[in-house]
Amino acid sequence: MEHSEPFLLINFKTYLEATGKRAVELSKRIEKVSEEHGVRVGVAPQFCDIERVAASVDIPVFAQHIDSMPAGASTGHVLAESVKAAGADGTLINHSERPLRLADIDMAVQLAKQTGLRSVVCAGTARLSAAVSLSEPDMVAIEPPELIGTGRAVSKENPEIVTDSVKRVHRVNPAVRILCGAGISTGDDVYAALKLGTDGILVASGIVKAADPEQVLSSFCEAVLRVE
Amino acid sequence: MEHSEPFLLINFKTYLEATGKRAVELSKRIEKVSEEHGVRVGVAPQFCDIERVAASVDIPVFAQHIDSMPAGASTGHVLAESVKAAGADGTLINHSERPLRLADIDMAVQLAKQTGLRSVVCAGTARLSAAVSLSEPDMVAIEPPELIGTGRAVSKENPEIVTDSVKRVHRVNPAVRILCGAGISTGDDVYAALKLGTDGILVASGIVKAADPEQVLSSFCEAVLRVE
Amino acid sequence: MEHSEPFLLINFKTYLEATGKRAVELSKRIEKVSEEHGVRVGVAPQFCDIERVAASVDIPVFAQHIDSMPAGASTGHVLAESVKAAGADGTLINHSERPLRLADIDMAVQLAKQTGLRSVVCAGTARLSAAVSLSEPDMVAIEPPELIGTGRAVSKENPEIVTDSVKRVHRVNPAVRILCGAGISTGDDVYAALKLGTDGILVASGIVKAADPEQVLSSFCEAVLRVE
Amino acid sequence: MEHSEPFLLINFKTYLEATGKRAVELSKRIEKVSEEHGVRVGVAPQFCDIERVAASVDIPVFAQHIDSMPAGASTGHVLAESVKAAGADGTLINHSERPLRLADIDMAVQLAKQTGLRSVVCAGTARLSAAVSLSEPDMVAIEPPELIGTGRAVSKENPEIVTDSVKRVHRVNPAVRILCGAGISTGDDVYAALKLGTDGILVASGIVKAADPEQVLSSFCEAVLRVE
């Protein structure tokens, strides 16, 4: 993944439309659209699906979360090494639906680094985007929780939070790439996000719950190409 | 799995010795010993390993945890359907290293039932074993947290807690099978557990961290056969 | 507090109407109504208000929660001894707005006993009411979370959950007294609750947010006297 | 409290030596030493003791924690308004024994500001000290968790973490005052802390569990005066 290239990351959440075999099928369709347009697109399936998705497609695969603990006597937790061994390239950290304590965000980013996983740390405000950037993740995803799943795109509803995040994050750490998310559902939303200075988007229901995910993703990819 | 048959369940925790390909290898060795002795043995690998383990062996595969939430807009959680789709037969619930709120234990058991997963709910005392039995799980595992990982077996160190659990659980729900765990490391520990009225054991480091897991598991299986 | 006597417990939650001096004033008005009718009424103010409320009135004062930990190096937690030293007579445990892990509910009940605090453990279903009764609290409060704060009383909307709780709790522990709560706002709701076999009610907004708390509480007390 | 003046903050944790009446007595002894030396010292008693401590002494009183929620239908939580109404001047936030999610730290600082409470946000590393400073608390307390309660003072065992915190915090927000804590037990530890550029210390067992708290606190105050 070239660092200068925009990146669209699709979070499968625990949607049944993207669970088990359907996670593999959806990932293949996403890979096809990604290749057709030459736009970088990644997927974040559920833990149990990471391995079969990673074995089926050649696009970046992310976990939705890792636990901030080393290997050992921990039951029911998600080890960075386990996610990596299953074929993941990276992981989301601190999604608003899986919020972490401050010290755990920092530790998760370090565990990701040590394991060779890219990290995308989510934050709900511009200030918190800057705070998590101090841990030097690969990417920050600014997602105002109140817009998630609404279809009202952050890049249009609240462009200030996006530009403010870009400014604040780059002030503390210019190497961090910035995604934005929440409510993204059209190519125009993606275009607006990139124009605001982000490096891509984080999207879930906008693709996973779409009547025609390929068509919507195609419009997203076209928006990326329009910007470039 | 016959309900009257003893059951040995091996929790892989997040041990590196049982992560990724090593989870598959260990499961195959466990399957071999299980078949040689005709004793029922199950494994509980990490989430990311469930699918490849389930695809590689023909013994019961359990998740280490499921989240108490339905499918939908939840990131980084473990859906019962996802675990099932990966090939799991059941799941641990409320392990002392992944303790749940009371209402969530009950909901997790119901979600397991609805999804066709067997449930093994862990509890640390005889009283709590009875409390969780009211939710009608398939099995209860009594594990005093202070003995977990010590090599001092609950069935020898604290036989009263085991017999007391058996009595109390059966008083509230005679259909619930009872495992015991914590510190189990020898065939004698297993023999003692079964003699106390349990239906099997839950073990982790005793097998996973053993210099020769097959040899230790063989001694466990021989203890089962001695009882029968 | 006679064990056979009905008990009305008023949870002040974090309502500003019942914070600081207003907690003391409301408690005094509640005490007055309680004395006028000869009906036992208790209050559960916020932690910081327990001492001044307990010093101002001669009715039972409950904490809204205690933490399941012994005295020592814990910052920001609520010690049973601290609550007791401030003058509390008892404590709520596991309210649906402060849910606890199963093992912590049990430990909190034991800590309350050791400290000389009465315990009222909340549960959202009949099955969970029975489960928590195994820990031998003084009282169980059955409160279906979906009715809390609605003004639709559990004793009228879902009488089956109340009678089922009474039956199940008494089956596992006949000594446990049973309150019911959620949506209680009229004397008729209280009357219905007692007629279903409960020993009283747990109420919050029905009194605290009432235009005239004394008038509403009077109607509750009259309902108690009608039953007796 | 003058902003340029050093500040010693004594956390009572849930030590029985500092619970109930003993919290008041200890606070009075602390006030006496504070006045004798003309050094600013504050106390952080348990929630239930805030009011009587604040009513008994004329030194800054802090809560040990506030919850990140507005007033309303929340049971068992600690409202900023409640702490303020009891007479507190400020609050600790995110102590390592009461760690918070990132977004909740930020919200707690804003709630403290709105309520007129000073905020001291704890952090375990220099990087996290800087991260929490972005929320613009009044003070940050750098406390490496591994040294808490050890008697090995952070200011001597790990002076780099202190100087690094001072540098990083001031880079993002020069207005934030910096305390350091963990293992502080002698006047020399305090002297070292101030010489490293901090504005004071956060201490618990070093005073509360001391055979002679007044004598130890006197040595702390003398260290402050030596620096000035």
Within the 43-82 window of chain A, which residues sit less than 8 Å (CB to CB) from chain B? 44, 46-52, 63-65, 69, 71-79, 81-82
The yes-or-no verdict on residue D92 having pLDDT over 70 is yes
In a domain? residue C2: no
Report pLDDT for A1. 41
- Which pLDDT score, from 0 to 100, does residue D62 have? 98
Q: Which two tokens stand for residue D173?
A: 């927000």
Q: What is the pLDDT of residue A149?
A: 79
Best probe of the B interface among C101, C105, C134, C143, by most B CBs < 10 A, is C134
What is the per-residue pLDDT for C145? Answer: 81
Task: Tell me the mean pLDDT in the region A187-207.
Answer: 94
- What interhelical angle do A126-133 and D126-133 show, nearest 10? 170
User: Would you state the pLDDT for residue B1?
Assistant: 41
Neighbours of chain D (3+ CB pairs under 8 A): A, C
Cα D40 to chain center, whole Å?
12
CATH number at residue C222: 3.20.20.70
Residues of A in contact with D103 (CB under 8 A): 96, 99, 123-125, 128
| Residue C1 within a domain | no
Q: How many domains does chain C have?
A: 1
Measured between beta carbons, which residues in chain A are less than 8 angstroms from residue B11?
A: 75
For residue C206, give the chain D residue with the closest CA.
Answer: D73
pLDDT category at B158 given cuts 50, 70, 90 is confident
pLDDT band at C2; cut points 50, 70, 90: very low
Chain B residues closer than 8 Å to A86 by CB: 20, 48-49
The predicted-structure confidence for D158-211, as pLDDT tens digits, reads as follows: 889 999 999 999 998 999 999 999 889 999 999 999 999 999 999 999 999 999
Tens-digit pLDDT profile for residues A48-88 = 999 999 999 999 999 999 999 999 999 999 999 999 999 99
Q: Pick the catalytic residue from C35, C81, C143, C160.
A: C143
Mutate to test the interface with D, among C74, C75, C83, C114 (most CBs of D within 10 A): C75
pLDDT for D1 equals 41
- What chains are in contact with B, requiring at least 3 Cβ pairs below 8 Å? A, C
In B130-189, the residues whose Cβ lies within 8 Å of chain C are: 130-132, 134-135, 172
Q: What is the pLDDT of residue C1?
A: 41
The chain-wide mean pLDDT, for chain A, equals 94
Residue bearing the bigger pLDDT, B191 or A228: B191
Candidates B99, B106, B127; nearest CB to C101: B99
Check if D65 is active-site.
Answer: no
pLDDT for A91 beyond 50: yes
Q: Which residues of C touch D202 (CB under 8 A)?
A: none
- Cβ distance of B98 and A76 shorter than 8 Å: yes
Residue range B117-150, pLDDT digits in tens: 999 999 999 999 999 999 999 999 998 888 877 8
Q: Out of C120-129, D70-79, D115-124, D149-158, pick the least confident.
A: D149-158
How much of chain B exceeds pLDDT 90, in percent?
86
pLDDT (0 to 100) of residue D74: 96
Residues of A in contact with D101 (CB under 8 A): 99-102
Chain centroid, CA C150 distance in Å: 17
Please check the confidence at residue A3 and state whether its pLDDT lies above 80: no
Residue B1: inside a domain:
no
Q: C183 lies in a domain?
A: yes
Q: In terms of CA atoms, which chain A residue is nearest residue B150?
A: A73
Q: What's the whole-model pTM score? A: 0.95
Tokens 């340029």: give the residue: D4
**Contact assignment for D102 to A106 by CB distance below 8 Å:** no
* H-state helical runs in chain C: 21-37, 50-56, 80-85, 102-115, 126-133, 154-157, 159-172, 187-195, 205-208, 213-227
**Beta partners for residue C203, in sequence order:** C10
In a domain, B44, yes or no: yes
pLDDT tens-digit readout, B68-85: 999 999 999 999 999 999
Q: Provide the domain limits for residue D70.
A: 7-227
Residue D1 lies in a domain: no
